[in-house]
Structure 1
Amino acid sequence: MILTVTPNPSLDRTYEVPALDRGEVIRATGERMDPGGKGVNVSRAVAAAGVRTLAVLPLGGAPGALVARLLDEQGIEVAPVRVTGQTRSNISVAEPDGTLTKINAPGPELTPAERESLLTTVGERSPGADWIACCGSLPRGLAPSWYADLVARCHAAGARIALDTSGPALLAALAERPDVVKPNAEELAGAVGRPLATVGDAVKAAEELRERGARAVLASLGADGQLLVDDSGTYFGSAHVDVVRSNVGAGDSSLAGFLIAGGAGPRALASAVAHGAAAVRLPGSAMPTPSDLSRTPSRSRPKSPWTAP
């Protein structure tokens, strides 16, 4: 069972349009509404793969109630933490060439009591979880150290932690030694404070995060593929994608694929690559099913840290 924690969930509306012309009336050619937030997307991808998952998240107002209903319809067990503010609503506009424009709302401000209730709920629901995936931005009211506190508590209970966040929240949590962190290329560059021009640069940056506490680093490098650096070595994986329909949730799908395949080594990396590549072929933030994965040949291999793919 994979438990996910999403401190700042959302209700996501995605519109497909012929072109995004500012100041014009645009008629959408397709639309969908999904429960959103990085941890929520991980749960959706895990459930689509037929694996049990439990989503812990703060929910408030009518958008929060709709998020809970949509998750329930997808067979995902929800452990809601009721908050006074309203769950945020996000909008994505997808163009035919794969360009995606996103408008993300800030979300509600959590009170000290709500913050503690979220931590307590994770602790109460975590027994039996193979992994706890802590994902996404922090809402107002949660300090950057909140993830570090969560990782420390979960480790004390014997759980394995996957962390997908960025900025000060990521850096603060490294000291608590999360079992795997999953930055994208931009987040990895931000964590080490310099641009990354090659896969070799990304490998060096991943090694720095390991030196600062991360036990493994799974990095999404966009169209170039994905990189895994852990105790067993350095691996690179890629998959060919003809047409990108939407990249919303692709990184979350990758993390789900990595965790359900064991969360370590080249086999898990290959699963991450396959899930991410399948996700970008789907509309909005739709998560791939096993039938989608069957059309996604992927590979992973040992990677020299000094060469580009």
Structure 2
Amino acid sequence: MARRIRGAVEQVIEGKPDVVKLALAVMLAEGHLLIEDVPGVGKTMLAKTLARSVDCSVRRIQFTPDLLPSDITGVSVYDQQRQEFEFKPGAVFANIVVGDEINRASPKTQSALLECMEERQVTVDGVTYHLDTPFMVIATQNPVEMEGTYPLPEAQRDRFMARVSMGYPSPQAELAMLDGHSAASPLDRLEPVADAGLVSDLIDLVRTVYVSPEVKRYAIDLVTATRRSPDLRLGASPRATLHLIRAARAIAALDERDYVLPDDVQELAVPVLAHRLLPTADAHLERRTAEQIVADLVRRVPIPSTAEGPPGWPGDRY
């Protein structure tokens, strides 16, 4: 089923199999995805395609400076006939929430997503409303155009499991895009290949993927290295470690394995950790990005030479 979802998304998103794989892994790991890149490379198209490939409730929020928190979470309205307050759900009450240009909203409005993303619930006027499962926020932002934008605070970025950049397509993929997108958008022809129930079953299956103590220790060593790096003034949080393991489980499942390898952790280190980190002023002067710092740490942190597999796994050598 995961292969069918991935194939449906790749019908629309040309030449980006690694990006599609990561986006699907985040969904199956019960995480949230931040898509960050320059305009016109398909950020919103990826978010809408992933949402449409699954037959579940989808809401889109166009973040603007005048957007209010109640537009996202909902508001209690007084019903004069019944003489009581009635809750009107906001746009966040959906299985998949597509937040376009999230950094254009004010910090107050951005903070309305904090409780939703972490606890999967909304509290309005002292009453808590639980969100349906599965629940995923796919947000896009433009890192280049800073006019009228508000940078995401650290607490907000930490709630996104992974950040992905689309990048420019290859000439061959761009040529295929001209042939496939010029007459009509292939998104209009995309049919759902799964529903919310099937996605929930896949999420439950991902939770059963085995992670050996050695691989867990390796993930912790990587995260600890970010906290001790002289190039970073803010390292990764314990939530980052949890997200790294969850995403590694999903990647292993997509590769049709029931156990996680150190390779999975290495593959995910940059997209899961880099957006949470704050480089020092000296690192900025040396033009070293958080992605480069994480890649250096991946090369330096020792890889476990042995790893226990699940019961029945033939051998314990990595």
Q: Same fold (TM over 0.5)?
A: no
Q: Please identify which structure carries the higher helix content.
A: 2
Length-normalised TM-score, structure 1: 0.29
Larger CA Rg, structure 1 vs 2: 2
Length-normalised TM-score, structure 2: 0.29
User: Which structure has the higher relative contact order (CA within 8 Å, separation 6+)?
Assistant: 2
